């Protein structure tokens, strides 16, 4: 398959290759096409930086924490954090 790219797309590919993240132009194009396919199918990409990917990351991490550790957290954690933050601001 032969394709033609605009000069700006060629510069973009060169810039991405120079970053070292991609091994070849083929690798870069494959990843781009995978992203398009995932977007078209409504699937979040693992490397996406949007709010949904951040939420998915937090959910994944939270799922790895044993229930016993969650039980150790105080129920009023937010109140304690606020109290500590505001106490730190008070002049002594």
Q: What is the 3-class SS of 19-74, one letter each residue?
A: CCCCCCHHHHHHHHHHHHHHHHCCCCCCCCCCHHHHHHHHHHHHHHCCHHHHHHCC
* pLDDT digit string, tens, across residues 73-85: 777 766 666 676 7
Is the distance from CB of 22 to CB of 31 less than 8 angstroms?
yes
Domain range summary for the chain, segments of one domain joined by +: 1-43, 46-92
**pLDDT tens digits, 26-40:** 888 888 888 888 888
């Amino acid at each position: 398959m032969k394709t033609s790219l605009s000069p700006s797309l060629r510069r973009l590919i060169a810039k991405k290759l120079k970053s070292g993240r991609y091994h070849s132009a083929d690798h870069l194009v494959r990843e781009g096409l995978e992203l398009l396919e995932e977007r078209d199918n409504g699937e979040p990409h693992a490397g996406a930086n949007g709010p949904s990917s951040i939420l998915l990351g937090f959910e994944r991490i939270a799922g790895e924490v044993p229930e016993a550790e969650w039980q150790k957290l105080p129920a009023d954690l937010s109140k304690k954090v606020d109290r500590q933050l505001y106490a730190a601001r008070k002049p002594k």
